Amino acid sequence: MIAEEASRRWEWPLHRLPWLEIAWAGFALANLGAMWVVPTWETVPFHFIWVSLTLVYGFRIWRLEPTGWVLAVVVVTTGAVLLHEISGSFQSPDELTEVPLMAAMFMAMVWHARRRTAAIEREHRAFEENRRLLERQRQFVQDASHELRTPITIAFGHAELLMGRSSRDPDLAEDASIVVDELLRLRRLADRLLLLASSADPDFLTRTPTAVERLLGEACSRWAPANRRWVVDDFDAGTVLGDPERLGTALDALIENAVKHTEPGDEIRLSASREREQVVIAVADSGPGIPPERLKAIFERFARLDSGRSRDRGGVGLGLAIVRAIAEAHGGSVRARSVPGRGSVFEIVLPSSNARRGAYTQ
């Protein structure tokens, strides 16, 4: 094992095409010959050799041992030719100091280049490790969400059965109702975790031309029973090329967030508009608003405005993260603005399709 490692350290990088090294070797030999044959050229070929060596090494960094051998050969050959010229009185003896000077400059460049290469390799290893960790985390969340859904469904069925049989016992019926509510909450959590974990998959979306007006109309129908003052602005936002089911999920998450942070009778306003080549879908509420210091992280996973809120009102902080994941999967983005005490506006920004509203067919 040690012998194999040592041989690998001394091995020239033959996995790369050595045309550059071969061309440089021929160029260096030609300049050495010129120095020998035409001493009156002074040290111009000498500098050509060293400058070309620096350029070649900067383009293709060799391993340390081959670099040392190349440096030694260049120092010996150029020094020998200079000694020949000095002995023939063609050059001043001071010219010989150029050899260690150029070698020192080359070694300084080698040191910096190797430090930079080592830093890049460390960053690459860290990136790969983080990528593997994220992939394992995503796979774990997917597997855990899948595994949770079956026992939750079974438990939910039994809890509903118990709730139906306990109609004569108010205490038992209340307990069964609490169990059903908590199982529903757990099922929603598992579904949202699964959606977030799968948002990076290539088949996450099934894109079709989708009318924005229809998306908002269906969302209003779903949430109409909520005791809020619903307002839908007139708009002509056209269509987007997207997944209507996923976009409906994102809209539901925004509306659910607005409902949680408003009281019965408060206003929730839905609208859509065009901004150049984009469609902006907005959900505005007249709730308490969001503090400026928390607005930046509002779309992060498990972000909650107030950890002291009741669980019924506060949720677990996945709804807005789902909105962002769905918007980004469509090539869009999310944004929010708020004035404390005067409500909030959440927007989904999507690329618009070339088709207009009238081109949509059911």
Q: Find where tokens 């608003």 sit.
A: 289
- The pLDDT of residue 5 is 45
- Tell me how crowded residue 177 is: count the other CB atoms within 10 A of its CB: 15
Long-range CB contact pairs, 64-73, < 8 A, 24+: 64/9, 64/114, 65/9, 65/10, 66/10, 66/12, 66/13, 67/110, 71/103, 71/106, 71/107
Per-residue pLDDT, averaged over 58-65, amounts to: 79
**Crossing angle for the helix pair 244-260 and 319-329, to the nearest 10 degrees:** 150
Percent with pLDDT over 70 in the chain: 85
pLDDT band at 314 (very low <50, low <70, confident <90, very high): very low
The beta strand positions in the chain, using DSSP E, are: 208-211, 229-232, 239-242, 267-275, 278-285, 333-339, 343-351
Which comes out higher in pLDDT, residue 359 or 109? Answer: 109
In contact, 331 and 348? CB cutoff 8 Å: no
pLDDT tens-place string over residues 327-344: 999 999 999 999 888 899
State pTM to two decimals: 0.58
**pLDDT number for residue 40:** 67
Per-residue model confidence (pLDDT) at position 315? 53
Higher pLDDT: 296 or 312? It is 296
Residue 349 clears pLDDT 60, i.e. is over it: yes
pLDDT, averaged across the chain: 80
Q: Is the pLDDT of residue 97 over 60?
A: yes
Q: What is the DSSP letter of 358?
A: G
- Give pLDDT, residue 316: 54
Question: Locate tokens 């290539």: which residue?
Answer: 202
- What DSSP letter does each residue of 93-111 carry, written as one string? GGGGGHHHHHHHHHHHHHH
What CATH fold (topology level) applies to the domain 208-359? Heat Shock Protein 90 (3.30.565)
Is residue 14 over pLDDT 50? Answer: no
Do the beta carbons of residue 224 and residue 230 sit within 8 Å? yes
Quote the CA–CA distance of 291 and 229 in Å, as a whole number: 24
For the cut 80, the answer to whether the pLDDT of residue 171 exceeds it is no
Q: What is the reported pLDDT for 244?
A: 93
Residue 361 has pLDDT above 60, yes or no: no
Closest CA to 248 of 323, 356, 162: 323
Give the confidence band of 279 by pLDDT, cuts at 50, 70, 90.
Answer: very high
In the chain, the amino acid numbered 270 is: L
Most confident of 38-42, 49-53, 166-170, 321-325: 321-325
Residue 105, pLDDT > 80, answer yes
Is the pLDDT at 146 greater than 60? The verdict is yes
- Residue 303 has a pLDDT of 63
The answer, yes or no, to whether residue 137 has pLDDT greater than 60, is yes
Q: What is the average pLDDT across 270-275?
A: 91
**pLDDT greater than 50 at residue 357:** no
CB atoms within 10 A of CB 208: 13
Q: What residues pair up with 103 in beta bridges, in sequence order? A: none
Output the six-digit token pair for 239. Answer: 């269509």
User: What residue segments make up the domains of the chain, in order of their start?
Assistant: 2-91, 208-359
More confident residue, 9 or 48: 48
Share of residues in the chain with pLDDT > 90 (%): 22
Q: How far apart are the first and last CA of the chain?
A: 69
121-130, 233-242, 296-305 — which one is most confidently predicted on average? 121-130
Whether 13 shows a pLDDT value over 70: the answer reads no
Between 88 and 246, where is the model more confident?
246
Q: 228-268: per-residue pLDDT in tens?
A: 999 988 777 788 999 999 999 999 999 999 999 899 989 99
